[in-house]
Structure 1
Amino acid sequence: MTLSVRAVLFDLDGTLIDSAPDLAGAGNDMREARGLPRLPLEHFRPMVGSGARGMLGRALGVQPGHPEFETLRDEFLQRYEARMTLETRVFAAMRPVLDALNQEARAWGIVTNKASRFSEPLVRALGLLDEAGTLVCGDTTPHSKPHPAPLLEAARRLGVVAEQCVYVGDDLRDVQAGRAAGMATVAAAWGYLGEGESIEAWGAHHVIESPPELLKLLGLA
């Protein structure tokens, strides 16, 4: 079975790029500043999709509602901003997917809950800003995922209707947003996934284990 779509939209962290090393690094930098030992990447990796909240929970055991949460969150974001391009890379297996989309002149874009303060310079540093047809960030529209507004805005910018798009993501919120927008949804099992329901329970139209499967699904391989 192949998907007949005019545009492909990607989540950023965990789907298009591997940002876990720098997000975990910021958490470990906070631990080190407090005299605590650094923790392995795999300790942080499942919670990368939860952003600062997830990283603070893993780094210092601090959750929203803690009296110092907001102060610690601001510190985390400052530390992350200072190092966010050190180790972050486009997933190697995603590069052929983007190349194939570009060669076929198939529109593609990025829709992320990451704030533009981080997303725009990061996507630019990775060389994706000029390739992507659009970048919709967590603060681009009044709502972020799982609300469909960011995906609908991306479709509008690309000049396609939502039903002609597929959204690829590695979080339940991605599937919820895509389905609410009327798009086909693909759950990326190579991503961070979190610690909630299994990826098979998210309700995505398709679950794929690796980027080459996306090429097949799109009829490009």
Structure 2
Amino acid sequence: MRKNKRPGAAPAFRLIIFDFDGTLVDSVPSIHKNVNQMAKMYSKREVSRKRVIRAVGAGLNAFLTEIFAPETEKMGIERVRRDYIRLYKKNHNYGLKTYPGVRGTLKYLKSKGARLAIISNKLGLFVKSSCSYAGIRRYFSDIIGRGDFKKDKPDPFPVKHLMKKYGVPEKEVLFVGDSSYDVECAKNAGVKSVYLTFGYGDAKKTKALKPDYTFAGFRKIAGLI
């Protein structure tokens, strides 16, 4: 924690934006289960957890094209997407858990006056449902999912929207995530970034973008306030 902050002072970052999967929660068990139910339905071999992790982050269409390339080519992405969403409505909270320190850190940040939000490339209805399931939804003023705006991250549009909505300048905004998409989004918006190494992102690719802060644990974020 910063010790030179006077009591009652405004937080250094008034708006803190988080990615969801691999940042706040470990959702791989639900995604892995869903993928293998689809694999069984399509008469394919089981898909490994490692392959699922590698494909997460760019959004559903890119994920499905990576995992089910022959099926998306044969049946079309919309059909495969419908199959995935239909199953995921039942599976999306399976095995879901927050990472160590998430609840306590969110509570602390909120108590210091920071406004918290989520920008994810997952469909918003699933993010909101999973936040409620994990007991963290009350900490966030905004939860933005893929397709909620005309452009998704790494485009800066969702970040710029929140900055304008709450009147917060770039220097007082922090974007926290586990992948290159998150760091790139922060850079595109002109705000500071935190790269969390415990998530799903490609470490080499993400570090090459030179995030402003790199942490191995979620609790470290509290030290920036």
Task: Specify if TM > 0.5.
Answer: yes
Contact kept, 8 Å, 2:22 with 2:200, in 1: the verdict is yes
Distance in 2, Cα, partners of 1:26 & 1:212: 30
Show structure 2 runs of 5+ residues with no match.
Answer: 3-10
Q: Are 2:211 and 1:211 equivalent residues in the alignment?
A: no
> What do the CA deviations read for 1:79-131 (whole angstroms, capped 9, x no partner)?
11221012222222322221211232322111112222322222233233222
Give the gaps of 5 or more residues in structure 1: none
Three-state SS of the structure 2 residue aligned to 1:141 is: coil
Partner of 2:169: 161
Paired residue for 2:83?
A: 75
Asked if 1:200 corresponds to 2:207, the answer is yes
Q: CA deviation at 1:58?
A: 5.9
SS at structure 1 position matched to 2:35: helix
Identity of paired residues, percent? 21
Normalised to the residue count of structure 2, the TM-score between the two structures is 0.83
Contact 2:26 2:96 survives alignment (8 Å): yes
Deviations 1:12-52 (A, max 9, x none): 11111111111111101112234445344233122221343
Aligned partners of 1:91 and 1:84: how far apart in 2? 17
Q: 1:162 to 1:136 in 2, by over 3 A?
A: farther
Q: Is the 8 A contact 1:44 1:58 kept in 2?
A: no
Residue 16 of structure 2 contacts residue 117 of structure 2 at CA under 8 Å; is this kept in 1?
yes
TM-score normalised to the size of structure 1?
A: 0.84
Alignment of 1:1-221 (within 5 A): 4-53=12-61, 55-56=63-64, 59-62=67-70, 66-70=73-77, 71-194=79-202, 197-216=204-223, 218-219=224-225
Root-mean-square deviation over aligned CA pairs: 2.5
Report the Cα distance in structure 2 between the residues aligned to 1:215 and 1:142, rounded to whole angstroms.
32
| Closer/same/farther in 2, CA of residues 94 and 63 from structure 1, 3 Å limit | farther
Checking the alignment, whether the CA contact within 8 Å between 2:146 and 2:152 is kept in structure 1 is: yes
Q: CA deviation at 1:57?
A: 5.2
Query: For residues 59 and 151 of structure 2, what CA distance do their matches in structure 1 show?
Result: 17
The residue type equivalent to 1:108 in the other structure is L
Give the whole-Å Cα distance in 2 for the aligned partners of 1:198 and 1:178.
15
1:59 shift after superposition:
4.5
Flag the 1:62–1:123 CA change in 2: closer, same or farther, 3 A: farther
Aligned equivalents of 1:22, 1:156: Cα separation in 2:
35
Question: 2:58 aligns to what SS in structure 1?
Answer: helix
Q: Give the whole-Å Cα distance in 2 for the aligned partners of 1:92 and 1:109.
A: 19
